[in-house]
Amino acid sequence: MKKLIFGCSVAAFFMLMNGATAQGQGPVFGADNLTVDYGEVSYSGDGTRDFVFKNNGTEPLLITNAKGSCGCTVPEWPKEPIRPGGTGIIKIKYDTKRSGPISKTVTITTNEVESKDANGNPVYKNHTVAIKGTVKAAPTTDGTPVKTNNGAPVE
């Protein structure tokens, strides 16, 4: 009889644990670092960097939007779902024809539920990625004629 009660208790415990896991935590956006550091970039140099993220949840993760804090920072995000345990890349392009320090953000909206509103509708989570670095000053001319787009020297 004791074995039966013990066996039922163990079975009930595992059913509860599996039930909690089956309900799951849903999609969970994760990243090792929420900063993209460009370091020092040449004026008009390569302004594209990859931001790698992971779905740490139990359901597919969707990036529903990604928006730069200004028009000089443009993210491109994957449109397909990221499976649990999978990784994705958001390409971030910064306009490097602007010399000086870089201090921008990219706000990423996911299908990760943060809370529920008063009507029980999900409120989705936003994640903010900091963009930093420095764009070197524009090169100066040494008096050599500069060519225009048509190839003729400028006087």
Instruction: For residue range 39-73, list pLDDT tens digits in order.
Output: 999 999 999 999 999 999 999 999 999 999 999 99
Higher pLDDT, 43 or 140: 43
What is d(CA 68, CA 62) in angstroms, rounded to the nearest whole number? 18
pLDDT surpasses 50 at 130: yes
pLDDT over 90, % of the chain:
74
Higher pLDDT, 78 or 3: 78
- Please count the CA atoms within 13 angstroms of the CA of 100 that sit on its side-chain side: 3
Structure-derived torsion over alpha carbons of residues 93, 113, 88, 56, reported in degrees to the nearest 10 = 140
Q: For residue 78, what are its two tokens?
A: 């994957």
| Spatial CA neighbour of 84 closest among 25, 142, 136, 4 | 25
What is the per-residue pLDDT for 23? Answer: 44
Lowest model confidence (mean pLDDT) among 8-17, 41-50, 71-80: 8-17
Question: Tell me, which fold does domain 29-135 have in CATH?
Answer: Immunoglobulin-like (2.60.40)
What is d(CA 51, CA 63) in angstroms, rounded to the nearest whole number? 13
In the chain, where the domains are located: 29-135
pTM higher than 0.85:
no
